[in-house]
C-alpha cells in the first residue's frame, strides 16, 4: 500500500467501482471481514491461500475499508498460514500479539494517532501460604528453577492459566503440588516487577489458604519434596533472611497468622458489559453488597 | 525437521562432524546463537537473510543444538524479516509472543513436556480516586469508549505502559488527563476479569491519591470534560448505582474517605535476582522493614 493517502484513495475509488456492483454482492477479490464496535474490521483467515492472491485481495479490501472510513483492521493468521505474514507486513500491517497457534496483525487506517488496545503486558503468578493448627507451613522444594538443589523450602507457587481466577489458581497449585485441598482466604500482598521475561512485567499474588486435609501427596514431576514445616524454621532459613522480598513476604504471612492483618478477599461481581469478574478488597471495613450508607 | 528423533540424530551427527572443525571455529552454515541459563539458546536475527539460506542454516543449527542437549530454542525476528517466519514454522517452531516490531518463535527440543515460560496473559489498568478537602472527587468524561456522550462522570483511568509501576501509572494518568499533581496513597481494591481482549485477561487497580494542586487543566485529545464533583453526586449517578462493579468501587472509595479502611501501600524491595520491585500490602499491621518480632 502506498504511504501517500491521496494516491491510495484515487486507486481505491476506481477499484471499488469495479468490484462492488450495485446489488451489493461480494466480489471474490475481497477478503471476508467482520465489523467491530470500534469502527474496525477483523479478517479471520482460516483456509490456506496463495500469498499472491492474498496480497491482491488484501490491497483491494484495504482500499474499500479506507473508502468506508474504517479504523483498525485486524488480521488473524493461524500458524498454518505463516506464508501470509510477509504479504500482510508488506501492505503495512504490524504485529499486535501472538499465541502458540496464531499471529494477530493490525493496521490503523486513519491519519490520527491510533487508539488500538495494548497487548497484554503482565504475566501473573500466585504463591500460597497454607498453615495447619500446629503453626506449620506447607512448603515444597522444586525440581526446576533457581532454587533447585539448594535445600531451600518455599511456598507452593505457579502461573495463572488462560482465563483463570487468582483465587482458583492458588487452590489448584496447592492441590497439584502437594495434594492438599484448600479454601481461599485472602490476598495478603502482591509484587510487581519488570523485565521478568523479555520486555514483559510480572505480578505475583501472595495468597492465604485454609487447609482441608493434611496428608501430603506430592507431585513427582515438578516437586522434589513437600512437608509441613514449623513456621519459625521456615522463617529462619538463611535464604529467606538474606533476600528482602522473601523475608518481607514471610513476615507478612506470619503477621497474618499471629495478629490482626487484613488482606483483600474476592467478591464475584458483574461488570458493565455483563461479564463475571472478581473484585478483591479489604472486606473488614466495607461490605458494598449491603450498601454504603 | 523430521519428527522422528532417531533419524534426525543420525543426520546431525554427520553434519556436526562436517561443520565443527577441531579448532572450534564457527562454520558459516550455522546461525549465531547465545546460550541462556535454562539450557536453551536464543537467535536474535538482525540482518536480512534469504529464506532458503535461513532454512538451511536453521536446520543445521538445530541438529547441532540437539546433539548438544539444548532445550528451548528462541528465534527473535524483527518485523522487517517477516520473510523468515514461514521457514521457521516449517522447521517446527511455534509462536511465543509478538510486539509491534518483532515476533518471537520457540522450539522445544527435548521429548519431555516443555517448561517454557508462558506468554503475558494480562493487561493492567489503573483508576484514580482523588478527593479534595471539600469532599469533592476528581472526575472526567472521555472522548472515546463505551461511556462517550452519556454524561457519566468517572474516575480517571488508563493502561499501564511497558515497564511502568502501578503507583507511577496512576499518578501519570491523573496528571495527563486533568493536570492535577498527586501523591500515591494506596491500592484500595483490584478487579480481575477475563476475555477482555481476545483471549487475554485484565487486572484493574483502584488507587487512592492525594492531590497537591486543585486547578484542573484538562487534556483535550482524550478528555471531554473534567471537574471536582461532590462525592455524594458522583455516587448517586444512575449509571453508578445500576452497575454493580462501579457501585462497589464507589462505595469502597467513599468508605476510605470517611472511615477506617486499609488498602495496600507500595514498598520498594529487591528480588532474589537483584531487581527493583514493589511489594504492595496492608502496612497498618505489618512493617516488615523493621523486622517481624
Could you tell me if residue A130 is inside a domain? Answer: yes
CB contact under 8 A, B189 and A269: no
Residues in A touching B234 (Cβ below 8 Å): none
Give residue A22's Cα distance to chain centre: 45
- Residues B156 and B213 reside in one and the same domain: yes
- Give residues with Cβ within 8 angstroms of B290, minimum separation 6: none
As a whole number of angstroms, the distance between CA B20 and CA B24 comes to: 6
Q: For position B196, what pLDDT does the model report?
A: 78
- Give residues with Cβ within 8 angstroms of A50, minimum separation 6: none
Catalytic residue among B29, B91, B176, B222: B176
Domain that holds residue A145: 122-267
Could you tell me if residue B6 is inside a domain? Answer: no
Residues in A touching B245 (Cβ below 8 Å): 269-272, 277, 279
Instruction: Kindly state the helix (H) or strand (E) to which residue A126 belongs, with its residue range.
Output: strand A122-130
Q: What is the DSSP letter of A273?
A: T
- Residues B104 and B222 reside in one and the same domain: no
CB contact under 8 A, B194 and A277: yes
Q: Give tens-digit pLDDT for B226-237.
A: 999 999 999 999
Nearest-CA residue of chain A relative to B107? Answer: A100
Could you tell me if residue A188 is inside a domain? Answer: yes
Which of A74, A108, A142 marks a domain boundary?
A108
Give residue B208's Cα distance to chain centre: 22
Could you tell me if residue A153 is inside a domain? Answer: yes
Q: For position B195, what pLDDT does the model report?
A: 82
What string of pLDDT tens digits covers the 293 residues of chain A?
Answer: 333 333 323 333 333 334 444 444 455 589 999 998 888 999 999 999 999 999 999 999 999 999 999 999 999 999 999 999 999 999 999 999 999 999 999 999 999 888 888 889 999 999 999 999 999 999 999 887 778 888 999 999 999 998 999 999 999 999 999 999 999 999 999 999 998 777 789 999 999 999 999 999 998 888 999 999 999 999 999 999 988 888 999 999 999 998 889 999 999 998 767 678 999 999 988 787 775 44
Q: For position B293, what pLDDT does the model report?
A: 42
B176 is catalytic: yes
**Cross-chain CB nearest to A259 (options B88, B121, B285):** B285
For testing contact with chain B, the best of A36, A208, A289, A292 (most B CBs within 10 A): A292
**Cross-chain CB nearest to A189 (options B82, B264, B273):** B264
User: Where residue B272 falls among pLDDT bands split at 50, 70, 90?
Assistant: low
CB contact under 8 A, A286 and B251: yes
For testing contact with chain B, the best of A38, A102, A189 (most B CBs within 10 A): A189
- Residues A42 and A129 reside in one and the same domain: no
CA distances from A256 to A75, A93, A262, B137, B286 (A): 49, 51, 8, 33, 9
Q: What does the pLDDT average to over B22-31? A: 62
- Domain of A52: which CATH number? 3.40.630.30
Q: How far is B286 from chain A (nearest CA, A)?
A: 6
Q: How far is A265 from chain B (nearest CA, A)?
A: 9
C-alpha cell recorded at residue A166: 487468582
CB B238 within 8 A of CB B201: no
Q: For position A7, what pLDDT does the model report?
A: 31
- Residues A128 and A102 reside in one and the same domain: no
Catalytic residue among A16, A29, A164, A176: A176
- Residues B73 and B174 reside in one and the same domain: no
- Domain of A205: which CATH number? 3.90.79.10
Q: What does pLDDT average to over chain B? A: 87
Could you tell me if residue A115 is inside a domain? Answer: no
- Residues A93 and A134 reside in one and the same domain: no
As a whole number of angstroms, the distance between CA B64 and CA B228 comes to: 66
- Residues A132 and A102 reside in one and the same domain: no
Which of B43, B77, B108 marks a domain boundary?
B108
Residue B242 CA neighbour count, 13 Å, CB half? 7
As a whole number of angstroms, the distance between CA A40 and CA A34 comes to: 8
- Residues A90 and A155 reside in one and the same domain: no
DSSP per-residue string spanning B171-190: HHHHHHHH---EEEEEEEEE
Is pLDDT at B14 greater than 60 in this prediction?
Answer: no
Could you tell me if residue A151 is inside a domain? Answer: yes
As a whole number of angstroms, the distance between CA B277 and CA B271 comes to: 7
Residues in A touching B86 (Cβ below 8 Å): 82-83, 85-86
- Residues A78 and A206 reside in one and the same domain: no
Residues in A touching B277 (Cβ below 8 Å): 191-194, 245
Q: Indicate the number of domains in chain A.
A: 2
Q: What does the pLDDT average to over B40-68? A: 96
The position carrying cell 515497564 is B163
The position carrying cell 520457540 is B106
Which of A108, A131, A161 marks a domain boundary?
A108
Residues in B touching A269 (Cβ below 8 Å): 191, 244-245, 248
- Residues A85 and A156 reside in one and the same domain: no
Could you tell me if residue A13 is inside a domain? Answer: no
- Residues B126 and B244 reside in one and the same domain: yes
Could you tell me if residue A292 is inside a domain? Answer: no
Q: What does the pLDDT average to over B119-142? A: 95
- Residues B51 and B157 reside in one and the same domain: no
Amino acid at each position: 500500500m502506498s504511504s501517500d493517502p491521496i494516491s491510495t484513495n484515487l486507486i481505491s475509488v476506481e477499484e471499488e467501482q469495479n468490484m462492488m456492483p450495485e446489488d451489493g454482492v461480494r466480489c471474490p477479490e475481497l477478503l471476508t471481514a467482520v465489523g467491530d464496535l470500534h469502527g474496525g474490521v477483523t479478517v479471520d483467515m482460516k483456509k490456506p491461500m496463495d500469498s499472491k492472491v492474498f496480497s491482491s485481495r488484501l490491497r483491494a479490501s484495504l482500499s474499500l475499508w479506507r473508502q468506508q472510513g474504517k479504523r483498525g483492521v485486524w488480521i488473524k493468521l493461524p500458524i498454518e498460514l505463516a506464508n501470509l505474514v510477509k504479504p500482510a507486513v508488506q501492505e503495512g500491517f504490524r504485529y499486535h500479539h501472538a499465541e502458540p497457534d496464531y499471529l494477530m496483525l493490525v493496521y490503523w487506517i486513519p491519519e490520527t494517532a491510533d487508539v488500538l488496545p495494548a497487548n497484554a503486558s503482565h504475566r501473573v503468578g500466585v504463591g500460597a501460604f497454607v498453615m495447619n493448627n500446629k503453626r506449620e507451613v506447607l512448603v515444597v522444594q522444586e525440581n526446576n528453577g533457581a532454587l533447585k538443589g539448594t535445600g531451600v523450602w518455599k511456598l507452593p507457587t505457579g502461573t495463572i492459566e488462560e482465563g483463570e481466577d487468582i483465587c482458583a489458581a492458588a487452590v489448584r497449585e496447592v492441590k497439584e503440588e502437594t495434594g492438599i485441598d484448600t479454601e481461599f482466604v485472602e490476598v495478603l500482598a502482591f509484587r510487581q516487577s519488570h523485565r521478568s521475561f523479555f520486555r514483559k512485567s510480572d505480578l505475583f499474588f501472595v495468597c492465604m489458604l485454609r487447609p482441608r486435609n493434611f496428608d501430603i501427596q506430592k507431585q513427582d514431576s515438578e516437586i522434589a519434596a513437600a512437608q509441613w514445616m514449623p513456621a519459625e524454621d521456615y522463617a529462619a532459613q538463611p535464604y529467606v533472611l538474606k533476600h528482602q522480598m522473601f523475608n518481607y513476604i514471610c513476615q507478612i504471612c506470619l503477621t497474618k497468622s499471629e495478629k490482626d492483618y487484613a488482606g483483600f478477599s474476592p467478591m464475584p461481581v458483574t461488570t458493565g458489559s455483563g461479564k463475571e469478574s472478581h473484585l478483591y478488597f479489604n472486606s473488614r471495613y466495607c461490605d458494598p453488597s449491603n450498601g454504603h450508607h
